[in-house]
Each structure stands twice: as C-alpha cells, then as structure tokens.
Amino acid sequence: MRRTWLIFSQAVTVAVAMLFVVSTLKPEWLPRRAGPEPVVTLPPVSQALPAQPVALSPTAAVSSYAGAARRATPAVVSITARKAPQRSAQSNDPWFRFFFGDGAQPQQPQVGLGSGVFVTPDGYLLTNNHVIEGADDIEVQLADGRTATARLVGTDPETDVAVLKVELERVPAISFGNTDDLQVGDVVLAIGNPFGVGQTVTSGIVSALGRDQLGINTFENFIQTDAAINPGNSGGALVDANGSLVGINTAIYSRSGGSMGIGFAIPVNTARQVMEGLIRDGQVTRGWIGVEPRDLTPEIAQTLNLPVRQGVLITGVLQSGPASAGGVRPGDVVTKVGDKPVTNTAQLLSAVAALKPRQTAVIAVQRGDKALELDVTVAQRPKVRARQPQ
C-alpha cells in the first residue's frame, strides 16, 4: 500500500512539473477554456466615417511658394534714383568763395533706392512716387542683370503711384490679380530690394483691408500685411499665392526703421487705374466739389442736435466752387454721394473723386432737422500737392 502511494505521489509531482514547463514555454499546446468572446462596440457608420470626403483648402497642403516667387520675381526690378545736389546760396557769395573757394564743400548727388515692377511686355512699370520724386536720372536693374535708364511717364502724388517706361526687349511682365477677390488671411509675398541687399522675397498674410486715415496719402485704401517690408521695398510687388500682382508696397509702421509686421500696399486695382490715366491722358482725372470735410463724431452730432449719427460734416465751402453753386453750406452733413453712403472723410473723398468732371451728382445732406438732396455739377480736381479743399 505504501509503495502504491509513493508511486502515485511521484507521478502527480512529475505531471505538475511537466504542466508548469509546458504552460511556461509552449502555452499554445494547452487547450483554451471556452468562454464568452470580448464585445467591441462600434459607432454607427454615419459617425465612424464621414458621408463625403473632407475638402481641404487649396493652400492647406502647400509647403512651398517657390512657384509663385518664380513667376513674379523676374518682373520686379531695383530702382536707383539720382538727384543733382542743390547749390548752396552761399556758393554765389564772392566773399564766401574768397575765403572758402569754389570747391570747399563738394556735394555728392543724392541717391535713393527702391523697387518697381513691370506690368506690360512693352516696358511700363509701376513704382512709388516717393521713390523717384525729384530725380534727374532713374536707372533700373532687372533680375537677369540687365540695366537701363527709365523715362518718367507720370506721377500721382495723391496715391503715391508713379509710372516709368523702359526701352528693352523681352521684358518679363507680371500678371494682374484682382484686389476685390482678396480676403483677410490670404497668403501674400512681398518682393523688392530692401536696404539695397538685392532682390528678396518675404511671406505673410493679408492682415487687413481698406486701411485709411493713416496720413500717408490723400487717397488711402491700403492692404495691410505682415510680410516683411523694409526701406528699399517701396514700389515693389505684393503678390498672391499664384504669383499675380495684388499691390504695390508703399509704407511700413516702424519705431526702429525696420519691419515690425505692419506694412501697407496700394491695391493693384487703384494702381492700375492711375497707370491707365497717366499713360492715356498724362494725368489722373478726378472729380472735385470744393468743400472742407470733417468726420462727424457723436459729440458733434449731439451738440448740433442732429437726427443722424453718421456722415461727414462740411466745415467750409469754397466760394464760387461746385458745392457752393449747388447749395451746399457749412454745417451740412453729407450722408450720400449718388447712391454711395459716406460715413467718414475718406469715403467722401473717394466717392467724389470717382465722379467725372462736368457730371451732375446728387448729394444727400442733413441740414439741421431737414434731409435735402442737392444737385452739384462736379469739376476736375486741381493738380496740387498741398492740402486743399476736397
């Protein structure tokens, strides 16, 4: 009996040892205990997969704007504007020449650097008026290394646009974009010659549209961008992601003289209209009525007990001018020019400038508690640089 029990216990011990070894080294040899399968809950098909593929924006997958830069950069040029030195009034004084001589204070020509952009294959290019203003000699250098002397076609200081003409063959002209299609957040590239270091491309987005009342130009409707614009970029190209021209880089807001992420460009629609007028007529024809405007503030409206809160207050009317002949008086508040509402001075200026000379326009004004519509025969805006009645 004892022997049988010893054999049984040894057999059990060996079996347990073998089971441990198999379960450790080859667990797949052991049979699995039947039991319930794990349950996985899947979302409904309408939630698991979108009904239609998600459409990505055209620029979402763009990692490079090399194509836009390659299309636009050949049309952007560097401009060197030279101005003859002004002779000092003392140089004509014989006593001054006696003591100091004629060559005592040699003066060097003034040199300004800027940028420009070819917009037609026959050599017309756009730049800023302040880049070439007063220059006696204007030289442009193309991206391919060619240089040429440019002829001044015309300028429009009130928009800071100038048009030049270069007599060269195979001019690489840029294609025009449409500013009306531009939206805040669109990618833009600024191309120019900052600080004279050579052609440079910077990128950013459209930060704002329709910027005015900056005190830069008479007619302001700027594109604001954070693409780096520095001294020397003036007159260069602001292009969209396709390489089409959407603006002419003009000014920056800066406390240091360099880019701080706030730059301004003239919309290409405005620059193109000015260019066509300068090429066709030698000047830009704008409407003018001869008034002195001021923004209507809530305080002024309350003081004058006016029923309107938006409009442009007329503080002065030029005697014998178009507005005076049409019945406009100081103290009137202009609310509409034709069918265009006006809420500030910039809008009034633009609306009047868009009118054709000798055209009769209906101007809606608020005079005290009376709303009037006055017929004003528009005149041509005088070509002056100083501030004048609008």
By residue count, the chain amounts to 390
Co-location of 272 and 124 in the same domain: yes
H or E element: which one contains 331? none
d(CA 247, CA 264): 9
Co-location of 125 and 215 in the same domain: yes
Cα dist from 377 to 3, 30, 333, whole Å: 135, 105, 18
pTM here is 0.69
Cα torsion at 355, 357, 361, 367 (round to 10°)? 100
Co-location of 276 and 171 in the same domain: yes
Beta carbons within 10 angstroms of residue 105's beta carbon: 12
- Give the contacts of 143 (CB within 8 A, at least 6 positions apart): 73, 74, 75, 76, 77, 172, 199
Q: Are strands 151-156 and 147-149 parallel, antiparallel or unpaired?
A: unpaired
Co-location of 215 and 246 in the same domain: yes
Q: How many domains does the chain have?
A: 2
Co-location of 208 and 80 in the same domain: yes
Co-location of 276 and 311 in the same domain: no
| 357 exposure class (CB count in 10 Å sphere: 0-12, 13-18, 19+) | middle
- Is the torsion defined by CA of 59, 62, 65, 68 positive or negative? negative
Co-location of 277 and 312 in the same domain: no
Q: Which of 75, 80, 236 is nearest to 150 (CA)?
A: 80
- Known active-site residue 115: no
Co-location of 78 and 172 in the same domain: yes
> Which of 284, 310, 342 finishes a domain?
284
- Known active-site residue 64: no
Evaluate whether residue 316 is within a structural domain: yes
Annotated active-site residue in 78, 234, 244, 350: 234
Cα dist from 2 to 12, 16, 64, whole Å: 16, 21, 90
Co-location of 331 and 246 in the same domain: no
Co-location of 280 and 291 in the same domain: no
Write the DSSP symbol of residue 50. -
Q: pLDDT in tens for each of the 390 residues of the chain?
A: 667 767 777 776 777 777 666 666 666 566 554 444 344 344 443 344 444 444 444 444 567 899 999 999 999 999 999 887 765 555 566 655 555 555 545 566 677 789 999 999 999 999 999 999 988 899 999 998 899 999 999 999 988 999 999 999 889 999 999 888 899 999 999 999 988 888 999 999 999 998 877 778 788 889 999 998 888 889 999 999 999 999 999 987 766 666 677 899 999 999 998 999 999 988 888 899 999 998 888 888 888 888 888 899 999 999 889 999 999 999 999 999 988 898 888 888 888 988 889 989 999 999 988 889 999 999 998 875 544 444
Annotated active-site residue in 156, 160, 226, 332: 160
**What letters, b where the CB count within 10 A reaches 16 and e where it falls short, cover 281-310?**
eeebebbbbbbbbebbeeeebeeeebeeee
> Which of 263, 284, 305 finishes a domain?
284
Evaluate whether residue 35 is within a structural domain: no
Co-location of 69 and 197 in the same domain: yes
Q: Three-state SS string across the chain, please? A: CHHHHHHHHHHHHHHHHHHHHHHHHCHHHCCCCCCCCCCCCCCCHHHHCCCCCCCCCCCCCCCCCHHHHHHHHHHEEEEEEEECCCCCHHHHCHHHHHHHCCCCCCCCCEEEEEEEEECCCCCEEEEEHHHHCCCCEEEEECCCCCEEECEEEEEECCCCEEEEECCCCCCCCCCECCHHHCCCCCEEEEEECHHHCCCEEEEEEEEEEEECCCCCCCCCCEEEECCCCCCCCCCCEEEECCCCEEEEEEEECCCCCCCCCCEEEEEHHHHHHHHHHHHHHCCCCCEECCEEEEECCHHHHHHCCCCCCCCEEEEEECCCCHHHHHCCCCCCEEEEECCEECCCHHHHHHHHHCCCCCCEEEEEEEECCEEEEEEEECEECCCCCCCCCC
The CATH number of residue 148's host domain is: 2.40.10.120
Co-location of 207 and 356 in the same domain: no
Q: Which domain holds residue 167?
A: 64-85+108-284
The CATH number of residue 316's host domain is: 2.30.42.10
Evaluate whether residue 14 is within a structural domain: no
- Known active-site residue 254: no
Evaluate whether residue 44 is within a structural domain: no
> Which of 242, 264, 284 finishes a domain?
284
Annotated active-site residue in 78, 115, 130, 350: 130
